[in-house]
Amino acid sequence: MDLSEQVSESFVELFGGKPSVIARAPGRVNLIGEHTDYNDGFVLPMAIDRAIWIAARPRADGLVHVHSIDFDSHDTFSLEDLKRGHGWSEYLKGVAYVLKLDGHRLSGWEGVMLGDVPRGSGLSSSAALELASARIFASISGLEWNAAYMARVGQRAENEWVGVNCGIMDQMASAACRQGHALFLDCRSLEMEHVPLPGHVAVVVMDTSTRRGLVDSAYNERRSQCEQAARFFGVKALRDVSWAEFEKRKSGLDEVVMRRARHIITENQRVLDAVQAMRSNDLAGLGNLLKAGHVSLRDDLEVTNEALNQIVEAAQMQSSCYGARMTGGGFGGCAVALVAAGQIQTFTDEVQKAYRQSSGLEPQIYVCKADAGANVVYNSDNMGSYRRITVQP
Site residues (vs ligand GLA, CB under 6 A): 34-35, 37-38, 166-167, 169-170, 328-329
Contacts of 67 (CB under 8 A, 6+ apart): 10, 14, 73, 74, 111, 112, 113
Cβ 110 to ligand GLA shortest distance, Å = 30
Nearer to ligand GLA, 329 or 373 (CB): 329
Give the separation between CA 109 and CA 98, rounded to whole angstroms. 17
Query: H or E element: which one contains 175?
Result: helix 169-176
Q: Which residues of 214-225 are buried (b: 16+ CB within 10 A; e: fewer)?
A: beeeebeebbeb
Nearer to ligand GLA, 198 or 328 (CB): 328
Nearer to ligand GLA, 90 or 170 (CB): 170
Residues taking part in catalysis? 170
Give the separation between CA 114 and CA 66, rounded to whole angstroms. 11
Nearer to ligand GLA, 167 or 198 (CB): 167
Cβ 356 to ligand GLA shortest distance, Å = 26
Cβ 350 to ligand GLA shortest distance, Å = 28
Nearer to ligand GLA, 22 or 261 (CB): 261
Cβ 17 to ligand GLA shortest distance, Å = 37
Cβ 169 to ligand GLA shortest distance, Å = 5
End-to-end CA distance of the chain: 25
Give the separation between CA 38 and CA 143, rounded to whole angstroms. 28
Give the rounded distance of the alpha carbon of 122 from its chain centre. 7
Give the separation between CA 351 and CA 359, rounded to whole angstroms. 12
Q: Are the C-beta atoms of residues 47 and 373 closer than 8 Å to each other? A: yes
